[in-house]
Amino acid sequence: MIKSELVQRISAANPHLYQRDVENIVNAILNEITGALARGDRVELRGFGAFSVKNRPARTGRNPRTGAHVSVSQKSVPFFKTGKEMRERLNKDGTGAA
């Protein structure tokens, strides 16, 4: 699902809201999550999951085409861990197998 589909589904489920207002709300939520991660904060949405930032240290990589060694700088990457409620909904049979 892409963001425009999410906005359409929320608008359809809430006909009393204008689609542009739903789009503004979705954008505001995503911007707040992005801003918090940029500040190094953790964002937890109970029952859904938690967004955090993991730091990958600098390392020496390899160019797959030439085989030459290249220096890869340190970087921060977003990380998402699902919440317990979401995992349970995805694994309704209760076996825990995916």
Tens of pLDDT, residues 33-79: 999 999 999 999 999 999 999 999 999 999 999 999 999 999 999 99
Q: What's the DSSP call for residue 58?
A: P
- The reply to whether 95 falls in a domain is no
Domain of residue 9 covers 3-90
What angle, rounded to 10 degrees, do the helices at 19-38 and 3-13 form?
Answer: 130
Entry pTM: 0.76
- The reply to whether 96 falls in a domain is no
Count of domains in the chain?
1
Which residue has tokens 């970087």?
75
Q: What is the C-alpha separation between 19 and 23, in angstroms, rounded?
A: 6
